[in-house]
Amino acid sequence: MSKRSLLTAVALIGVGIVFGVVLMTSFGGNAIENLFAGGSELGAGQPPTPASAAVKALNDQFVAVSSAVTQSVVSIAVKTERKAPSSMPNDFFRFFGPDGGGGDEEFQLPDGGEANGSGVIISRDGYVVTNNHVVEEAKEGGIVVTTNDQKEHKARLVGRDPLTDLAVLKIEGTFMPAHFAQRADIRIGEWVVAVGNPLGLKSTVTTGIVSAMGRGIGIVGTDERTFERNRYAVENFIQTDAAINPGNSGGGLFNLNGSLVGINTAIASRTGVNAGYGFAIPIDMVKSVALDLIDDGKIQRGYIGVEITSVDEASAKAVGLSKVSGVNVNKVVKGGAAESSGLEVGDVILDVDGQPVKTSNDLQNEIVLRRAGDKVTLKIWRDGREISKSVTLRSLDSDRDVATNDSKAGEATTKAADEPVNFKGLGFTANSLTDEQTSSFGTKQGVFISKVDRGGAVARRGLRPGTVILKADGKEVNSPSQLQRILSAKKAGDGVLLVVKESDGTKQAITVEVPES
């Protein structure tokens, strides 16, 4: 190659380099890539709708809360005793997994089996709160707690409370406890995060809102073998739509401050997995029960000594309340705190120590926070006016039968004083008392209920055959015809309060709505 040719080649290479630099500068860093890729560029250059500062702040808060609260939530592995299968339909399914079933499937843990749940650390020295149903079948020494740092700790069972479905464990060490929210500050509609270990997935965080407060769903204290429920069981759940699944039992429900709002306990589901309805025990109940178990290893719970139902429209009409709110006293336990303080069947409890109680769940939640020996002031609605009663709570006498279902209809001949009356619209028949019934019930007042139509109005309200109506609409009843006159004076849709005496001597208040004639 001549010298001239060599110089020409070098010059052309230099021009090429300069031209390439110009191209790179003009078309950006992807120019060559675009040249060889046919000009295709993956992804848009900018997000279509950049988040506002407020949205970014909310997102950052969720991230911060999730990071903080997971430090206080633990996984619990339980070696269990053999548990008999239950065919109970799990519309309300306790998420005790992963071996638990859902829907209509049987739930069975074999000998030596292991079940898993969640818990929340509530003190620096290692107290952990969880659900009673997570640990109630545990073998001695069969509970292991795994903290967020994946360290395993042998746990000691401090105590259990089946009537609230809470239990406390103890592990050794120093830990980060959850911060407790104030029950009064929890609002329907506020954001919450549920944290637990669903389906074996450690430290899972899901979000939702507080959907409702004060829910009772009838699962706490229910025997899965007999389906019978303990009458003293307490439910006052927070409902949430945060996704919760098997394994979440005992995990925490937290607000956006990172404060513990409640302990996750159940979901409403036919499949055993999240269907949008979860339930958590409120923090005030959790704190009260946990303190009792830590201090004494058992619950020193106080009781009023009444059987109650929430006021509904019929009972509000019957006693003259202007709004549907309060708690009916349907029965008063003999020798209990309520009887000693002068509460009567047919009273309506309106508040406890100034705190309004709109439903029976509200009343239970107020009393469960107190111990035997505590005094409470009840505002009572009686005979169309408000009165106050001071009640000293007593411990539960487990041998006392509050209400019996063994009432039997009398078989003796009725007095000739009055003929039986069939109250067709309400669905029952009343007879005059016989001498034998007067003696066995201990009263000359009232009429005997010889028949109650299945599915009738009074049957749906709890009236049973073999009982005696003592009063109707506040008036003493001495014959079937007198009861007929009292009810005939009421208009269709009016409420009527009946005071009923059972064969064991307990009294019950039943409210019915007068039907169309």
Q: Which residues are catalytic?
A: 133, 165, 249
391 pairs with which residues across the strands? 376
The span from the CA of 135 to the CA of 334, in Å, is 35
- What's the token pair of residue 319? 């006693």
Distance (Å, rounded) from C-alpha 283 to C-alpha 242? 17
Please calculate the CA angle 459-465-466 and round it to the nearest 5 degrees: 150
> CA 506 from chain center: how many Å?
29
Give the integer Cα–Cα distance in Å for 357 and 379.
10
Cα distances from 137 to residues 104, 110, 259, in angstroms, run: 22, 11, 30
DSSP code at position 461: H
- Residue owning tokens 């106050």: 388
Side chain identity at 296, as an amino acid letter? D
DSSP letters for 164-185: TTEEEEE-SS---PPEEPPGGG
Query: Whole-angstrom Cα distance, residue 105 to residue 88?
Result: 8
Query: Nearest Cα to 164, choosing from 337, 288, 247?
Result: 288
Please check whether residue 477 is in contact with residue 447, taking contact to mean a CB–CB distance below 8 angstroms: yes
Contact criterion met (CB below 8 Å) for 510 and 424:
no
Residue 12 CB contacts under 8 Å (≥ 6 apart), including other chains: none
Strands of 420-474 (E only): list them. 421-423, 428-432, 447-452, 468-472
Q: Name the packing angle between helices 360-368 and 283-296 (round to 10°).
A: 30
What single string gives the DSSP state of each residue in 209-241? EEEEEEE--S-TTB-TTT--B-TT----EEEE-
Gap between the Cα atoms of 61 and 53, Å rounded: 12
Cα within 13 Å of Cα(321), Cβ side: 28
Contact in structure between 481 and 512 (CB atoms under 8 Å): no
Helices and strands in the chain, H and E counts:
11, 30
How far is residue 407 from each of residues 312, 341, 502, measured CA to CA in Å? 26, 28, 7
